[in-house]
Amino acid sequence: MESLIEDLSVLDGSEQCETIKVTQDQHTGKKRKLYIESYGCQMNFSDSEIVASILHKEGFDTTSDIALADVVFLNTCSIREKAEQTVRKRLAQINTHKKQRPEMLVGVLGCMAERLKTKLLEEEKIVDLVAGPDAYRDLPALIAQVDEGQKAVNTFLSREETYADISPVRLNSNGVTAFISIMRGCDNMCTFCVVPFTRGRERSRDPHSIVAEAVDLFNHGYREVTLLGQNVDSYKWSEEENNKAYLERKGIENVVNFAGLLEMVAQVSPLLRVRFSTSHPKDITDEVLHTMARHENICKNIHLPVQSGNSRILDMMGRGYTREWYLQRVQRIREILGEDCGITSDMITGFCTETDEEHRETLSLMEYVKYDFAFMFFYSERPGTLAAKKFVDDIPEEIKKRRLQEIIQLQTELSLKRNQRDVGKVHQVLIEGYSRKSEDFLQGRNTANKVVVFPKENFEKGQYINVLVHDCTAATLLGKAVNN
């Protein structure tokens, strides 16, 4: 997960949704310029690449300079209240640009667009266009509608749309690592979560198009793909008439599950690393773990969000597993993939009715699992969710924040301890580019998704090299290339 680098700030409590990515420049001589900012999760970053691709065909180049843009899109997130506040603040800033250039079209895409629909037009006067996550093919028509002087909205959620045939324009790319969406939506209805409402029903993308995208990326020099879905373990694609021949040729049965897909992508090339996110503790199978063990190029890191260490809270959250079940899954990961396999998590503190004792069960579970990294949040009630309807958001903010501080502090200690285990060992690293602090250093990640920084020497991005780690912080491993 790229956000593990982007979001090291999460260790001090800031949120994943604060991450903003802006478009890179494209100069292919198209007439109009698109500027797009993405908020929230990797799904949104991946969707922005689909949007750029759709508009590229319609005569748009992307720009990183908002002052040059004809169309400005914010691809938004609704996961916590703060994520929506960030977008509203940004819209206020963009208003100053719009005052100077009233012809600039401002659109809101993504989860906040889906949640608020036409209400967004009433609440934010600056917005001309609102498009939900399944409406991106309609963007050219929606833009045309705005060109004609109307406001435009499409928040229709689809049961089929996977954008399988659209080849994304890679934005903010380092040319080495890329995301591939393998499914959309979510059917789980965790009680705290807005995603099923903003992204609609779960659907899986044709494995053939996923493998084709991975092959294309590999042929363009990419060396790592991350397969994205809200719950990758429930990936399931059934045969369609026109795919029969392909599946037979590959010897694959007529239903492809996540383990099957993983195997197919791993076979693209031993030089192409494969990662995936997010695994769901209730659904991750031994078959997936064995597939990971069989292929060296499937990275040994599992993002397995626990949310809470207490079974009563997990039940109220509708997560579909208990503390014991979760720990049993961790046990299987350790048995099949060994102690070095990275395990990362998401946690929510202060969910409705959570007692101090139940909170301490989250801390004890963390100590037991020894996570390498975690995204940690305090509960933010989302309108329309099951929790908002059924439970009272009754934990005072100071308590939520104190509990969050406690888990952040513990996780920082655990991350440091896990990283210390890596000191003195040689790690295979895929180089992604310069380190964030200096061009004399490069950085990449090891199989467990840990950032490794080392002197540049004559190495280049896209190369696999061995690095002997001699030091670490809670966030980074430091080393020097050896025996390459």
Q: 427 contacts which partner out of ligand F3S, ligand SAH, ligand SF4, none, CB within 5 to 8 A by kind?
A: none
Residue 332 near residue 292, CB atoms below 8 Å: no
The Cα-based distances of 128 to 51, 93, 102, 264 in angstroms read 17, 16, 11, 43
Pick from 78, 291, 380, 447: which binds ligand SAH (CB under 6 A)? Answer: 380
Measured from the CB atom, the residue of 191 and 310 that comes closer to ligand F3S is 191
Pick from 198, 277, 435, 443: which binds ligand F3S (CB under 6 A)? Answer: 198
Both tokens assigned to 163: 């954008």
* Residue type at position 415: S
Q: 379 contacts which partner out of ligand SF4, ligand SAH, ligand F3S, none, CB within 5 to 8 A by kind?
A: ligand SAH
Residue in the block written with tokens 């080849």: 167
Query: Quick one: which segment of 38-46, 136-144, 276-284, 289-297 binds ligand F3S (CB under 6 A)?
Result: 38-46
Note whether 193 binds ligand SF4 by CB under 6 A. yes
Q: Please give the sequence-ordered ranges of beta strands (E in DSSP) within 258-355, or none if there are none.
A: 273-277, 301-303, 342-349
Number of residues that bind ligand SAH (CB under 6 A): 16
Measured from the CB atom, the residue of 4 and 193 that comes closer to ligand SF4 is 193
Residue 388 near residue 381, CB atoms below 8 Å: yes
Pick from 162, 307, 310, 362: which binds ligand SAH (CB under 6 A)? Answer: 307
Site for ligand SAH in 225-244 (CB under 6 A): 230-231
Pick from 107, 133, 196, 342: which binds ligand SF4 (CB under 6 A)? Answer: 196
Note whether 40 binds ligand F3S by CB under 6 A. yes
Measured from the CB atom, the residue of 80 and 359 that comes closer to ligand SAH is 80
Measured from the CB atom, the residue of 78 and 234 that comes closer to ligand F3S is 78
Residues linked to residue 265 through DSSP beta bridges, in sequence order: none
Residue 181 near residue 161, CB atoms below 8 Å: no
Note whether 408 binds ligand SAH by CB under 6 A. no
Note whether 481 binds ligand SF4 by CB under 6 A. no
Distance (Å, rounded) from C-alpha 229 to C-alpha 43? 7
Distance (Å, rounded) from C-alpha 404 to C-alpha 394? 16
Dihedral angle at the C-alpha atoms of 277, 280, 283, 289, nearest 10 degrees? 50
Note whether 193 binds ligand SAH by CB under 6 A. yes
Residue 47 near residue 40, CB atoms below 8 Å: no
Both tokens assigned to 357: 């004792």
Q: Which residue ranges make up the site for ligand F3S (CB under 6 A)? A: 40-41, 43-44, 77-79, 110-111, 194-195, 198-199
